[in-house]
A and B are shown apart, each in its own frame.
Chain A
Amino acid sequence: MNFAFSEEQEQLRDAVRRFMETKSASEDVRRLMETTDGYDPAVWAQMANELGLQSLAIPEEFGGQGFTFVELGIVLEEMGRVLLCAPYFSSVVLAANAILNAGTDAQKAELLPGIAAGETIAALAFTEPNGKWDADGITMEAVGGGDAYTLTGTKHFVIDGHTADTVVVVAREAGTTGEDGIGFFVVAGDAAGLTRTPLATMDQTRKQARLDFAGVAATPLGTVGAGWPALSKTLDQAAVAMANESIGGAQKCLEMAVEYAKVRVQFGRPIGSFQAIKHKCADMLLEVESGKSAAYYAAWAAGEDNEELPVVASLAKAYVSDAYFHAAAENIQIHGGIGFTWEHDAHLYFKRAKSSEILLGDATYHRELLAQRIGI
C-alpha cells in the first residue's frame, strides 16, 4: 500500500491549485458570495471543459473519467483552500453519489452524463427543518406507487437547492420509521408545486435553500423503501469529501497565521517568536497534519469502496471539522485586530469552517457514530 500521491496526482494538484488561485481569488469569492446563485457559470464551464473536474470520479460508462475518490479528494482540498464558490459539493459529491448508490443503470445513464459535463447542476435534498442528519430526520412522505409518486413537505438546508436543475429528494413511505421505507426521488428544479427559497446563511460562500413541496410529481430513483443503505453510504462519502475540502481550508489558515506571525512585529520582535503564538501555531500544525492523514486515508477507503468506509468517514469528519474550526479561530487570534475586520479573509474561513463543522453532522454526532460503528 502506497500512501504517497503519485507524480500525476501531484500534477493534478498543481493544475487545480493554479486554476483555483487564478479564478477564485479573494475578490472573486467576495463578489460571488454577494450573489444569490453563488457561482460563476464561466468558471464552472471551464472546470468542466478544460480540467474535467465534474466528471473526474464519475464512471466512464456514465460520461465520467472513471478516476477515484483520491483524485476527487485532491480537487476538493484545493477548492476548500480558496473557498471556491461553486455547486461542486452539492452536484458532484452529494447528488452524483446518491444517484450512483441508489439509481438503476438506466437512471445513472440518464442523469449522470449531464452532471459530469457540468451542464446539469444537481442537489441532494434530505435534511428537514428538524436539523437531524440521521434516518429519523427524514419525515417527508412519498405517496404513490410504480413510477409515479408525489411529494409534500419541506426540505431545509439544501445545499445549492435554489440553483439546481435536478433535485434528488429523500423521503419515506407512509407509516414507516427509522431506516425502513426510505426512498430516493428525482424532481426537476422547476417542477410545478416546488417552491425554492434561498436561505440567508452565515457562510455566504456555500449557498443553501429551503424547498417546499406541495404535491410535486416525482420519479423514484431505484427501489422505494430500500434506500437507507444508499443514503447512508452517500453521507459517508460526503463526510469524506467534506473532510478533504476542510483540510484544504485548515492548511490555508495555518499558512496565513504563520506568515503573519513572521512579519508582524511587536515589542521589537516578530510575534511568532513569543511562546504564546508559537504554541498556537504548533498546535495548529499538529492538528492539520493529523487531519490530512485522516482525510487522505478516508479518501483512499472511499476510493476502494471497502468496509472501512463508514468508520473512517466518521473519524475523518469528526477530527477534521474540529481541526478546521480551531485553525480558523486561532488564525483570527494570531492576526489580532486586523483578523477581526471584514476586509481580511480570516472571517471567510471562520464561517466556512463553522458551516462545514455542522453540515452532515458535527464532530460529537460523528464521534457517536464512530463509537457505534466500531462497536463500543
Chain B
Amino acid sequence: MHVVVCVKQIPDPAVPGELDPGTHALKREGKLILDESDSYGVEMALQLVDKAGGGEVTLVSMAPNGEVSGLRTALAMGAAKAILVSDDALAGSDALSTAKVLAKAVERAGSVDLVLAATESSDGYTGTTPAQMAELLGWPSLTFAKQVDVAGGTVTVQRQTEAGYDVVEATLPAVVSVTAGVVEPRYPSFKGIMAAKNKPVDTVTAADLGLAADAVGWAGARQRITQVAPAPAREAGERIEDDGESFQRVVAYLEDLKVV
C-alpha cells in the first residue's frame, strides 16, 4: 500500500510568530519544523502500511527555501521518501493554490492508495486544503478521522463529531484528514535519524509540476489579507454572588458552552 502524507513545515510555535507588515502573511524565513498535527498522519500512515504487510509512506510538502528540517523529522519516524515543492513563485499561495500544488505532488508520487493530511495546520488554520485536494484529484474526501482502517479497496474512518463519531467509508484512492486521534506519534531512534539523512527528497518547482506561475502564489491568490487586528484583550469575567443557589447559574453557563 502506498500512502501519501501531506506535511507542513511551520515556524516553531514556541517562538512568537511575526507577520510581514506589507503582505500580512506569516514570516516563514527561519528554520521550520514539522507541524505537530501532521505527526499523527505520519503515524497512522506507518501503521496502515504495517498492517497491510507492505508498501511505503511518501511525504509531500510545500515550503520556502528548500526547507527539509520538518521532513527529516517525519522521515526519521519511518517515511520512505519525500516530495518537496519549493519555489519563490509559491510565496503568498492561498489554500486553493496550496491544494493545487499538493495535488500535483501527489500525482507525481505515482500510484497512490490513500492521502492523509491533518485537519488543519497549526499556523494557518484554514482547514480547507485536504477537501480541495480531493476535489482536484477527483477522489472522495473524508474528514476529521480519528481512526482510519483500510480493507479491500475501501477506507473506513471514525469521523469525529461533537457528540461522538460517525463511521464513514469511501473507495480508494481517497483523501482523509485526520485529527490528533488515538495514536501516539512514534519517537524516532538515532538510527532512524541517521537513516533519514540519506532518504530521497525530490525537490521540485511549480513549473516542474506543470503549474503556470500565475496560477499560484500572490499572482494566483483569490484572497488577500487586507487588514490585521490584534486579538481583543481578555475581558473581565462575570461575578456571581452566592445566594445558595448560584451553582445553577454555573451549570447553566457550562450548558451554554456545551461542556456539560
Contacts and interface: CB of A to CB of B under 8 A. Distances in A.
Interface in B55-100: 72-73, 76
A11 B187 contact: no
Contacts of A65: 189-191
B199 interface: no
B191 A52 contact: yes
A12 B197 CA distance: 13
A56 B190 CA distance: 8
Contacts of A12: 190, 193
B27 interface: no
Interface string A44-76: 001000111000100000000101000100000
A71 B189 contact: no
Contacts, number: 36
B190 A18 contact: no
Contact of B187 (A8, A51, A56, A67): A51
Interface in A20-66: 46, 50-52, 56, 65
A50 B186 contact: yes
Prevailing SS type, chain B contact patch: helix
Residue in A12, A15, A67 with the greatest tally of chain B CB atoms within 10 Å: A15
Contacts of B73: 11
A19 interface: yes
A51 B188 contact: yes
A50 to B, nearest CB: 5
A8 B194 contact: yes
Interface residues of B, number: 12
A299 to B, nearest CB: 15
Contacts of B191: 52, 65
A288 B72 CA distance: 31
Contacts of A11: 72-73, 76, 188, 193
A288 to B, nearest CB: 21
Contacts of A19: 187
A177 B125 CA distance: 72
A8 B189 contact: no
A76 to B, nearest CB: 14
Nearest to A52: B189
B197 A8 contact: yes
A65 B189 CA distance: 10
Interface string B168-205: 00000000000000000011111101100100000000
B36 to A, nearest CB: 10
Please indicate which of the listed interface residues B187, B193, B194 has the most CB atoms of chain A within 10 Å of its own CB: B187
A20 to B, nearest CB: 10
Contact of A15 (B193, B194, B197): B193
A202 B206 CA distance: 63
A305 B114 CA distance: 49
Nearest to B76: A11
A257 B65 CA distance: 39
Interface string A1-25: 0000000100110011011000000
A52 B188 CA distance: 9
Nearest to B188: A15
Interface string A93-118: 00000000000000000000000000
Interface string A76-96: 000000000000000000000
B31 to A, nearest CB: 11
Nearest to A23: B187
B72 to A, nearest CB: 7
Interface string A221-256: 000000000000000000000000000000000000
A67 B190 contact: yes
B75 to A, nearest CB: 11
Interface of B: 72-73, 76, 186-191, 193-194, 197
Interface of A: 8, 11-12, 15-16, 18-19, 46, 50-52, 56, 65, 67, 71
10 contacts: A8-B194, A11-B188, A12-B190, A19-B187, A50-B189, A51-B190, A52-B189, A65-B189, A65-B190, A71-B190
Given A8-B194, A16-B187, A56-B190, 5 more contacts: A50-B189, A52-B190, A65-B190, A67-B190, A71-B190
Closest 6 CB pairs of A and B: A52-B189, A11-B193, A12-B190, A50-B187, A19-B187, A51-B187
